[in-house]
Structure 1
Amino acid sequence: MNAFAAAMDRIYANPSMAAAAVWISATTSEERPIRVIRRAPDRTTEFGAGRFVSVTMMLDVRVSDLPDPRTGDLIVIGTDSFTIQGEPVRDRERLIWTLDLRPS
């Protein structure tokens, strides 16, 4: 394990940084507890001469917690449920998935 992976493990274990969640497969109904870091950046979309700002919901999940997320899988955080939309993307080090979500 390199220093970056060790740092990520500590960040995801910190309750101030990451939250407990449950991943549910859309195809097999398999469930797995995971730790996630929530992000909600605004996204600007241009349409003709107009610009629209919309709120998004994204999660960062360790690849070691969730090796193969897929579009349509469900993520439950507390009482909130989200569906993965679009293709999950890994970081340069191949340690973290970024998941684009929509409310379920």
Structure 2
Amino acid sequence: MSAFASATAALFRDPNLAQDAVWRSGGAGAPMAVRVMLRRPDAVSGFGEGRFVTDSVMIDVECAALGALAPGDTFEIAGVIYEVRGEPVRDALRHVWKAEAREV
């Protein structure tokens, strides 16, 4: 395991940064326990001359814990279910999946 992979794993074990979640493939697959980082940044969108700020939900999950991630997969975090929207992407080192989600 590389130094970067070890550092990523340590970040996902940190209780101040990550939390427990249950992942389901396609929203109905077998449940699997994972650690995730839940972020809620503001999203800025432009339309014509206007600029709109909206809420968003981003979920980061370690690639080593989850081989594949796809639209329609769900995460249950603290009793709330989030569905992955759009195509998830991996970071440059392929250590972390980053997915936009919506509360179901």
Check whether TM > 0.5: yes
Matches within 5 A, 1:8-23: 8-23=8-23
Unaligned runs of 5+ in 1: none
Instruction: Give the superposition deviation at 1:103.
Output: 0.8
What is the identity, as a one-letter code, of the residue corresponding to 2:89?
V
Matched residue SS, 2:93: coil
For residues 39-89 of structure 1, the C-alpha deviation after alignment (integer angstroms, 9 at most, x for no partner) is 111111111221110011001100011111110011100111100001010
Distance 1:55 1:68 in 2: 26
Distance 2:83 2:8 in 1: 24
Q: 1:46 to 1:67 in 2, by over 3 A?
A: same
Retained in 1: the 8 A contact 2:27–2:74? Answer: no
Report the count of equivalent residues: 104
Distance 1:14 1:43 in 2: 26
Matched residue SS, 2:7: helix
What is the identity, as a one-letter code, of the residue corresponding to 2:17?
M
What is the identity, as a one-letter code, of the residue corresponding to 2:32?
R
Indicate the residue corresponding to 1:103 in structure 2: 103
Matches within 5 A, 1:8-87: 8-26=8-26, 29-87=29-87
Instruction: Give the superposition deviation at 1:9.
Output: 1.0
What is the identity, as a one-letter code, of the residue corresponding to 2:40?
A
Give the TM-score taking structure 2 as reference length. Answer: 0.94
- What do you get for the CA RMSD once the two structures are aligned? 1.2
User: Kindly, what percent of the aligned residue pairs are identical?
Assistant: 37
Matched residue SS, 1:26: helix
Give the TM-score taking structure 1 as reference length. Answer: 0.94
Deviant stretches of 4+, over 6 Å:
none
